[in-house]
Amino acid sequence: MRLVLALSAVACAASLAVVGPADSARASQLWFLRDGRLVPVDRGAPTVVDTVHALLAGPTAAERARGLSSAVPRATPLRGVAIQRRIVTVDLGGRFAAGRSETSLRARVAQLVRSVSSVPGVAGVRVLVEGGVPLGLFPGLDLRRPVRPAAVPVDEAFGLREAQELLAELGYLAPELVSGEADDATAVAVLEFQKWTGLPRDGVLGVATLQALQHAMRPRPVTLLPGRHVEILLDRQLALLVDDGRVVRAVHISSGAGGRTPVGTFHVYRKERLSWSVPFEVWMPWASYFTGGIALHEYSIVPAYAASHGCVRVNRYDAPFLYEFATYGTPVVVLPSSR
């Protein structure tokens, strides 16, 4: 059993320190930017919460005069902090992931992870946005000090490789991605399983998820369409790739925020391995358009909730497979509820 300490942003107090007796003389560092490079600043913030608040506040006037800046958007709210086995989870408001630049997102995550990691006693950092999937699990975030995945087996007889093999057998993980390592691809597969089963969507292979996984069955299609088709389940933020009544793969997706992805039955009418979005000025790899300008496509940021302008974002591990699966004319059924 693991002990979890969770505090709201209001209740966060200076007593939330991950500091051992031998480390009490040390203080954390804040990481800001100068000429596009990460630079440490000694501020003396002794706790995780103090450090996060100081980072969100940005450089002081004196530090700005020295050329320091921050990629973290101003007024980003802190929703909560949790500590589990020395792994710190920082839950931030959606403003933290705002913007179109993957470079900027990578920089702000690096700032946060390095700053929190500098607090004595912290073994790893996970970053959430609005309680959704950890940002550290998204592809493209190439941190020099990566987030340490918190994969905890139920017992010695059922470890990480066994869990990956079961995820692959159930259609959540490509068989070639079974590695025995706690990696991003596994976290995405775990998130897909959690979405289907109704477990909390955090991408962590924890005790409850592993227990459910050991008794799980392959997902079943919601519709009765014959042949090959794609089901987009808006309530679960999950896509099911169905062939002759069998779910070949369950895929972690993020649809249009505020109901911008239309509900109904459509067909793939246009495919581009690398498509350019004119209105949003962004590349969309592995794009399969199924109505108007709305497509299934890979995107670097795929949270566990609806967040796009209307397209269906697909994680990078499943995007090429989905692109090959959904050929011209393949039905795409968008369902508001899977129940």
Identify the structural domains of the chain with CATH numbers, from first to last.
4-137 (no CATH), 160-213 (no CATH), 228-335 (2.40.440.10)
- As a whole number of angstroms, the distance between CA 120 and CA 24 comes to 8
Output the pLDDT for position 282.
85
Output the pLDDT for position 211.
86
Cβ atoms of residues 77 and 93 within 8 Å: yes
The average confidence (pLDDT) of the chain is: 81
Output the pLDDT for position 146.
35
Output the pLDDT for position 113.
85
109: how many CB neighbours lie within 10 A of its CB? Answer: 23
How does pLDDT run across 96-126, given as a tens digit for each residue?
Answer: 877 655 667 778 888 898 888 888 878 778 8
Tokens of 168: 């692959």
- Inter-CA distances, 172 with 64, 200, 240, 249, Å: 47, 16, 10, 6
DSSP one-letter code for 148 = P
Tokens of 179: 């590695």
How does pLDDT run across 254-283, given as a tens digit for each residue?
Answer: 999 989 999 999 999 999 999 998 887 889
> Does an H or E element contain 263, and which?
none
Helices (H) and strands (E) in the chain, counts: 7, 15
Pairing of strands 331-335, 228-233: parallel
